[in-house]
Structure 1
Amino acid sequence: MTRQEALALVKEKVKTRNLVKHMLAVEAAMRALAPRFSGDPERWALAGLLHDLDYEETKDAPDRHGHVTVELLRAQGFSDEEILNAILAHAGHKTPESPMEWALFSVDPLTGLIVAAALVHPQRISGLTPQNVLNRYKEKSFARSASRENIAACRNLGLELPEFVGAVLSAMQGIRGDLGL
């Protein structure tokens, strides 16, 4: 599946603009992280772009989140098992094993934390530093739904939190126009 085909699928299935922006943020972060683990940036980016494809459809049935996306992609002939497993792992349906799975598992909530931090920063994402994000990370009541435990799982990739935050923030700053930040 090409990025263009994936974007067409996102436009067909996802109606909430902020969810699309989230998926683009995760895509950018995954693309940026892939080379650190000898991964194919385009495959990793696809995992990020497609990971919440079924979110709106499954919002009232969270136990189906991820499964519906995998079923839809398989029905369309998509057979990249590493991407499909990463989608299932990010939704908690399997323990992450591969670097791609761990990355998606940790990137997903971190992008939400970064967006929340950018929204309260006077210069939005452009002026945000990794330290700003780390300070917000320590505030448990800030962006409460961004699982600190899942973000901290970046250590399973051999990355310390400051390095991980810096890489993801930089990737998101690179597409700030698409994110509206």
Structure 2
Amino acid sequence: MTRDEAVALYRKYNTSESLYRHALAVEAVMRRFAQELGYDPDYWGIVGLLHDIDYEQYPDEHCKKAPELLSAAGVSEDIIHAVVSHGWTLCSDVEPEHPMEKVLFTIDELTGLVTATALMRPSRSLMDLEVKSVKKKWKTKGFSVGVDRELITKGAQMINMEVATVIQLTIEGMRTVAAELDLAG
């Protein structure tokens, strides 16, 4: 599957621009981690793009409707498994197995925390965002309460990385699409 095909498939089921920006953020971060870990960034990016394919139209069936939608489009089983496993412990019983799946599980929610932290800065930008700023907001009760910090910590342990390293790579990935995320300052 090409990136253009993945975008078209995603757009077929999702019209929300904020959800699309999230998909772009996750795609960019997946690409960054693939580079870091020696995997194919294009492949990992497609998984990142498609990870929430069912979320807008089927929020109560998130990660449950995705296999049907992806399979109907001829998407491979390994991508389907990765998409479903990102909701492990939240809305799916499918445990992440491959490093790609573990990274997706870890960074999905983290992109939201990084975005929220960037938006609180005077620059409203990822370009000058530092790990320490995200970690400070991480500890602030009431900030981005929907972001499950324990899940991110568990994911970081699964990929054998310190949380600070995961945050740094997430920021670096998101910077590559900062303009599309409206976070370039």
TM over 0.5: yes
What is the deviation of 1:82?
2.6
What is the deviation of 1:151?
1.2
2:132 match? 131
Q: How well do the aligned residues superpose, as a CA RMSD in angstroms?
A: 1.2
1:23 match? 23
- Determine if contact 1:44/1:83 at 8 Å carries over to the other structure: no
SS of the residue corresponding to residue 176 of structure 1 reads: coil
| Aligned counterparts of 2:7 and 2:75: Cα–Cα separation in 1 | 15
Give % identity: 38
1:140 match? 141
Tell me, yes or no, if structure 1 residue 33 matches structure 2 residue 29. no
What is the deviation of 1:67?
2.4
The letter of the residue matching 2:87 is: A
Within-5 A mapping of 1:4-153: 4-59=4-59, 61=60, 64-79=61-76, 81-92=77-88, 93=92, 94-124=94-124, 125-152=126-153, 153=155
TM value normalised by structure 1: 0.93
- Determine if contact 1:47/1:86 at 8 Å carries over to the other structure: yes
| Aligned counterparts of 2:25 and 2:107: Cα–Cα separation in 1 | 9
Count how many residue pairs are aligned between Structure 1 and Structure 2.
177
**Structure 2: which 5+ runs fail to align?**
none
- 1:92-141 CA distances to partner (integer Å, 9 max, x unpaired)? 22122211111000110000001111111111222211110111111232
**Structure 1: which 5+ runs fail to align?**
none
The letter of the residue matching 2:34 is: A
The letter of the residue matching 1:128 is: L
1:175 match? 177
| Aligned counterparts of 1:30 and 1:83: Cα–Cα separation in 2 | 13
Between 1:18-27 and 1:91-100, the stretch displaced more is 91-100
- Determine if contact 2:24/2:49 at 8 Å carries over to the other structure: yes
Write 1 or 2 for the structure with the bigger share of helix. Answer: 1
